[in-house]
């Protein structure tokens, strides 16, 4: 029996156990950098399987090692994130979140379970593959500065460095049993914009006696959108969006200040820096033109995710061998962000997508969007989530 067929057979055998693990994690979510119970739960499983591991890496992270034959001959890494989001779950399922206002709405329960499952598979087949697999359970992906940055600083990719690192993310746009991947630039760098425009409030019927922070804020939002769209080089993907504008006035009251929050996304680091300078100049000059002042804080988020071209090609071939060509899809760029970029900036990385929607016609399980109160998955995806990750870790040589 080949390694591939063994992993596939064991995935069927272990699947009920993985479902139970995922449901426990889903029912007990923890916010970014608060994953203490999650860390303890993962550690308990690793201990039960006899897997060497270290806990409390950057407080709530875990690093485990699985060894095949000739452990010193090769080293590769796998990564999963563990944190949840501040969302109230709306799903009526037995494994719904037991913690008000906290939910695994981005599938990190699936990611953690998939990596646990991959470890279980690699342990069960360790005489059939060579080298060592370093398995990274990362906290805090959902919150700047990102748990990956701290784990890199803590040395999880050093002493020695792995040849490459693989990571996966749930993807409701594909059915369970399918995966997607893209070579090269894949996901955007993401920065937060926090802006307060201060003027002089007063009676809305007497704007000539005020300094209108609402009008100034409106001008800033429109001008910033125009500037980014006109100044961005052709062929460079970029997004500027403002998602929160808070002006606590009334129908007849102009407020003293307006608070604005937004996000800037880009796929090119040179343009990213230039855009920051452009936004800064525009915000202050527009506020001044309206007799107001602006307090601007652009918080640098994650770099863009760049999949190593050769590694992504090798992973794609492994996925085709494991799943069949009709179940492996080429993806376009995404303007969402991921702190996996910090790992991929240190060693060759490949971040791919795991289909989680039900393949049954008329069944909408797993089709709800990420970061929504009704997000869920078809748990058959766990077979591929764990199985393909284990197979790729054992066979991809780049």
13-66 confidence digits (pLDDT tens): 999 999 999 999 999 999 999 999 999 999 999 999 999 999 999 999 999 999
| Per-residue pLDDT tens over the stretch 185-218 | 999 999 999 999 999 999 999 999 999 999 999 9
| Per-residue pLDDT tens over the stretch 357-394 | 988 877 777 689 999 999 999 999 999 999 999 999 99
Closest CA to 397 of 275, 333, 313: 313
Domains 3-188+304-395 and 189-299 share a fold: no
Query: What is the four-CA torsion angle of 247, 250, 255, 258, rounded to 10 degrees?
Result: 10
Per the annotation, the verdict on 268 as an active-site residue is: no
Topology of domain 189-299, per CATH? Alpha-Beta Plaits (3.30.70)
- DSSP for 117-173 reads HHHHHHHHTGGGSBSEEEEEEE--TTSTT-HHHHHHHTTTT-SSPPS-EEEEEEEEE
pLDDT of residue 271: 96
| Per-residue pLDDT tens over the stretch 105-141 | 999 999 999 999 999 999 999 999 999 999 999 999 9
Instruction: Return the domain boundaries, the chain.
Output: 3-188+304-395, 189-299
What's the predicted TM-score (pTM) here? Answer: 0.93
Which of these is catalytic: 30, 35, 81, 83?
Answer: 83
77: phi then psi, degrees, rounded to nearest 5: -130, 150
Name the CATH code of domain 3-188+304-395 (choices 2.40.30.70, 3.20.20.100, 3.40.630.10, 3.50.50.60).
Answer: 3.40.630.10
Question: What is the distance, to the nearest Å, from the Cα of residue 349 to the centroid of all Cα atoms in its chain?
Answer: 14
Per the annotation, the verdict on 30 as an active-site residue is: no
Which of these is catalytic: 30, 89, 109, 141?
Answer: 141
344: phi then psi, degrees, rounded to nearest 5: -70, -15
């Amino acid at each position: 029996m080949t390694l591939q067929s063994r992993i596939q057979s064991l995935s069927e055998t272990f699947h009920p156990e993985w479902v139970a693990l995922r449901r426990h994690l889903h029912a007990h979510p923890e916010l970014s950098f608060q994953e203490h119970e999650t860390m303890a739960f993962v550690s308990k499983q690793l201990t039960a399987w006899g897997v060497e591991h270290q806990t409390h890496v950057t407080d709530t992270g875990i690093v485990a090692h699985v060894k095949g034959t000739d452990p010193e001959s090769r080293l590769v890494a796998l990564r999963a994130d563990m944190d949840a989001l501040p969302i109230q779950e709306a799903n009526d399922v037995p494994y719904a979140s037991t913690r008000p206002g906290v939910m695994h709405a981005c599938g990190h329960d699936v990611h953690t379970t998939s990596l646990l499952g991959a470890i279980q598979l690699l342990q069960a087949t360790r005489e059939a593959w060579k080298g060592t697999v370093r398995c990274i359970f990362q906290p805090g992906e959902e919150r700047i500065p990102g748990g990956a940055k701290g784990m890199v600083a803590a040395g999880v990719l050093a002493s020695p460095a792995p040849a490459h690192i693989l990571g996966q993310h749930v993807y409701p746009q594909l059915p369970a049993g399918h995966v997607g991947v893209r070579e090269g630039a894949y996901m955007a760098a993401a920065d937060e914009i926090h802006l307060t425009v201060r003027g002089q409030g007063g009676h809305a019927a007497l704007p000539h006696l005020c300094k209108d922070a609402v009008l100034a804020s409106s001008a800033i939002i429109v001008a910033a959108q125009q500037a980014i769209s006109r100044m961005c080089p052709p062929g460079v993907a970029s997004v500027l969006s403002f998602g929160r504008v808070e002006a606590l006035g009334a129908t007849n009251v102009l407020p003293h200040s307006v608070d604005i929050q937004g996000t800037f996304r880009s796929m090119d680091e040179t343009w990213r820096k230039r855009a920051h300078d452009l936004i800064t100049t525009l915000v202050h000059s527009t506020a001044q033109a309206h007799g107001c002042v602006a307090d601007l804080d652009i918080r640098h988020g994650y770099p863009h995710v760049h999949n190593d071209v050769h590694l992504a090609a090798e992973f794609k071939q492994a996925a085709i061998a494991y799943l069949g060509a009709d179940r492996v899809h080429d993806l376009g760029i995404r303007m969402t962000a991921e702190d996996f970029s910090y790992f991929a900036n240190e060693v060759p990385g490949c971040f791919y997508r795991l289909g989680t929607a039900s393949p049954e016609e008329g069944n909408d399980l797993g089709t709800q969007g990420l970061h929504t109160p009704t997000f869920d998955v078809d748990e058959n995806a766990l077979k591929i989530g764990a199985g393909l990750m284990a197979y790729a870790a054992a066979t991809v040589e780049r």
